Amino acid sequence: MAEMPNINFPDVFQNLPAFKCRFDAFQMQGENCNILFATYPPNTDIEPHTHDTFNWGIITRGAMHLTVEGVEKTYKVGEWFNVPLEAVHSARCDEATEVIEFWFKPE
C-alpha cells in the first residue's frame, strides 16, 4: 500500500499494535469490539468483501466512497457510516483518509 503522508492520529494511537489487511491501522482490542484507527492512502481501492462483525466508523480526515450491498455513498469528515453483519461492501478513497472504525462481534 502507498505510504500515508502525515498521519494525524495522536502518537498514543500510533503506538497501538499494527493491523494489516486490506488497509493499515492501529488496533485496540476489546472483549466484544475492536477499534481500528485506520489509514487509507490516496487511490485506495478495496474490493468487495464481508466481515463476521458489524461495523461503525467515523471519517476523521479525507473522504470514503463506501458501497454496501450495491449502494454507494460518500462519507466526509465527521460523518458516521455502518456496515451490517456479513454485508457485501467495498471502499474507495481518492485522497488520504483516516477513519476510526468499531468492529462489533455479534452476541
Would you state the pLDDT for residue 30? 86
Please give the average per-residue pLDDT across 85-101, as a whole number.
Answer: 96
Q: How far apart are CA 49 and CA 65, in angstroms?
A: 15
- The separation between CA 25 and the C-alpha centre of its own chain, rounded to angstroms, equals 8
Rg (CA), the chain: 13
Does pLDDT of 4 surpass 70? no
- The separation between CA 89 and the C-alpha centre of its own chain, rounded to angstroms, equals 12
Would you state the pLDDT for residue 63? 98
Segment holding 30, helix H or strand E: none
Taking only the tens place, the pLDDT of each residue in 8-63 is 776 776 777 677 776 777 888 888 999 999 999 999 999 999 999 999 999 999 99
Count how many residues are written for the chain. Answer: 107
Please give the average per-residue pLDDT across 90-96, as a whole number.
Answer: 96
The CATH T-level fold of domain 14-104 is: Jelly Rolls (2.60.120)
